[in-house]
């Protein structure tokens, strides 16, 4: 057991002052070559590394960024996180993750915890509860304290900070237009009540595409599913009661579930019914037929969010760079569940 060595230890051992050691290790020209060599050799031998905590205290920056996401067992968030971690790491930052678990309280508590010095900035995606409550005082207070925040995917217009979002509206419109172009008219939307801003935009895109093609919006063709329950019966009923030619689902779980139920009901995919999902995850790639889906480019999104944050943290003036909202362009990947 050889515990970590400090400047003080080196100083004592070599009979010089702490300042001399510090300067020598930073190669200051204030120190003579012999002394520097001696100190460096000693430090190297004992594998001296400066203490990050002490540095953080001194420099008033931790080189840590806090990431708060609603859920980690979710392909999209996982890939975004990967992007964040990758870029942050390259730039010499560490990442502290907190999972809000879709809970407002957890989000608040975790952020306040981290904000007391542990991190230099936040990247987060709002929890479902926070979106429902529409209460952003915790975020506003942090911004007020001068802690930069970057919001991604689940954002709110009420919060004045950098943001990264997907062009949900446009890509949903594109997906539905593709259905229409390949001959479908009775197009269903399967959505969730939870991801507010995101699913709203997707729905609007869906509606816009229909209207642009003079197809009437039939609310019976929009199925809103709870997120954490078994929806098999709801979905089955839905398809028994409605004649449908194409389905847009707001996530890949709904999409494969629909596909499987449809196939069991005797329809062929994509000949009878086409399907497009959101999230180019593992499910989409391993289903049969392979699912046509909307790639959200989570990793890119994460990288961009990290870049925005780090830029802002490191910009010296810090003052009046206006807040940006960057848009990631989703891609419609046409695979086996659509007619292409």
Partner DNA sequence: TATCAACACGAAACCGTTTTCGTAACTTTT
Partner DNA sequence: AAAAGTTACGAAAACGGTTTCGTGTTGATA
Determine, following the binding rule CB under 8 A, whether residue 317 of this chain makes contact with its own copies.
no
Tokens 């419609």 locate to: 332
CB of 155 closer than 8 Å to CB of 327? no
Q: Does 60 bind DNA (CB under 7 A)?
A: yes
Report the nearest approach of DNA to the CB of residue 105 (Å). 24
**Residue ranges in 256-275 that form contacts with its own copies under rule CB under 8 A:** 256-257, 260, 263-264
CB of residue 214 vs its own copies: minimum separation in angstroms?
36
Beta bridge partners of residue 188, listed in sequence order? 247
Where is 142: in which H helix or E strand?
A: helix 137-144
> What is the Cα–Cα distance from 28 to 106, expressed in whole angstroms?
47
Most distant CA pair in the chain, distance: 88
Q: Is 4 in the site for its own copies (CB under 8 A)?
A: yes
Chain residues 12-51 in contact with DNA, contact rule CB under 7 A: 15-20, 22-23, 25-26, 29-32, 34-35, 48-51
Among the listed residues 7, 68, 114, 225, the single contact to its own copies using CB under 8 A = 114
Give CA separation, 261 vs 43, 157, 166, 236, 269, in Å. 67, 38, 29, 7, 11
Residue 256, contacted partner among DNA, its own copies, none, CB below 5-8 A by kind: its own copies
Q: Does residue number 97 form part of the binding site for its own copies (CB under 8 A)?
A: yes
The reply to whether 279 sits near its own copies by the rule CB under 8 A is: no
**Torsion sign (Cα): 314, 315, 319, 324:** negative
DSSP string, 125-137: ---HHHHHHT--H
Chain residues that interact with its own copies, rule: CB under 8 A:
1-4, 47, 49-54, 56-57, 62, 64, 72-73, 75, 78-79, 81-82, 85-86, 89, 94-99, 110, 112-118, 141, 144-146, 253, 256-257, 260, 263-264, 281-283, 286-288
């Amino acid at each position: 057991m050889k515990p970590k060595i400090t400047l003080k230890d080196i100083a004592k051992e070599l009979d010089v002052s702490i300042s001399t050691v510090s300067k020598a290790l930073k190669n200051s020209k204030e120190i003579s070559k012999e002394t520097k060599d001696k100190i460096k050799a000693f430090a190297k031998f004992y594998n001296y590394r400066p203490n990050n905590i002490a540095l953080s205290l001194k420099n008033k920056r931790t080189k840590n960024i806090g990431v708060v996401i609603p859920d980690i067992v979710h392909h999209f968030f996982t890939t975004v996180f990967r992007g964040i971690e990758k870029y942050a790491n390259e730039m010499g930052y560490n990442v502290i993750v907190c999972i809000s678990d879709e809970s407002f309280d957890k989000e608040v508590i975790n952020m306040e915890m981290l904000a007391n010095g542990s991190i230099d900035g936040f990247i987060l995606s709002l929890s479902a509860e926070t979106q429902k409550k529409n209460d952003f005082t915790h975020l506003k207070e942090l911004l007020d304290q001068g802690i930069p925040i970057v919001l991604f995917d689940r954002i709110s217009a009420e919060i004045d900070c950098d943001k990264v979002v997907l062009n949900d509206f446009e890509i949903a419109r594109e997906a539905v237009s593709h259905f229409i172009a390949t001959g479908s008219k009775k197009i269903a939307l399967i959505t969730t009540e939870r991801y507010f801003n995101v699913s709203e935009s997707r729905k609007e895109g869906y509606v816009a595409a229909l209207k642009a093609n003079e197809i009437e919006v039939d609310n019976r063709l929009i199925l809103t599913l709870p997120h954490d329950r078994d929806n098999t019966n709801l979905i089955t009923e839905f398809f028994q009661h409605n004649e449908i030619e194409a389905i847009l689902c707001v996530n890949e779980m709904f999409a494969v579930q629909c596909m499987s139920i449809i196939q069991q009901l005797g329809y062929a995919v994509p000949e009878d019914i086409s399907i497009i999902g959101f999230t180019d995850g593992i499910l989409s790639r391993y289903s049969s037929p392979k699912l046509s889906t909307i790639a959200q480019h989570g990793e890119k999104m994460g990288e961009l969010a990290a870049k925005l944050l780090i830029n802002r943290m490191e910009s010296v003036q810090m003052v009046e760079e206006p807040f940006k909202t960057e848009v990631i362009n989703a891609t419609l990947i046409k695979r086996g569940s659509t007619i292409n």
